[in-house]
Structure 1
């Protein structure tokens, strides 16, 4: 088992270094990534989805609380 974990860890580290080197070679601008994340966060569709998710989580929390506590 430890041998397998060591192999997986080596593969993960190697993949990380290959990815970093690849990004450096392409001249990837990390500012572009920040703008993409910002655009996705401020998207009206994303806002609606987050609001719906929060509403459903609140309902689920209330339902669970009522079932555990009673009334």
Structure 2
């Protein structure tokens, strides 16, 4: 049991060292990473996403109208 714990701790340390060296040991300077808010704004303003939202709204509207018609037809059949 003790040897398994030592092996696990060794594996964790090796993974940590390799992970820190993969970054080159350098801290990023200059350009700051984009925040989630900035990413969301950028995606919201993109022409492709605007087009996709517009198409989705059209499809949703059509589906809502069709469902409304079916519901009206169904309720009419119940009242007869």
TM bracket, shorter-chain basis? 0.5 to 0.7
TM-score normalised by L of structure 1: 0.52
Deviation at 1:37, TM superposition (A): 1.3
CA distance in 2, matches of 1:44, 1:61: 26
CA distance in 2, matches of 1:64, 1:46: 27
Structure with more contact order per residue of length (Cα contacts < 8 Å, sep ≥ 6): 1
Larger Rg: 2
List structure 1 runs of 4+ shifted beyond 3 angstroms.
none
Deviation at 1:50, TM superposition (A): 0.4
User: Which runs of 5 or more structure 2 residues have no equivalent in the other structure?
Assistant: 1-26, 74-80
Per-residue CA deviations over 1:5-48 (Å, capped at 9, x if unaligned) read xxxxxxxxxxxxxxxxxxxxx89x67x22222111000000000
Residue 44 (structure 1) aligned with residue 57 (structure 2): no
**RMSD, matched Cα:** 2.3
User: Which runs of 5 or more structure 1 residues have no equivalent in the other structure?
Assistant: 1-25
TM-score normalised by L of structure 2: 0.47
**Larger helix percent:** 1
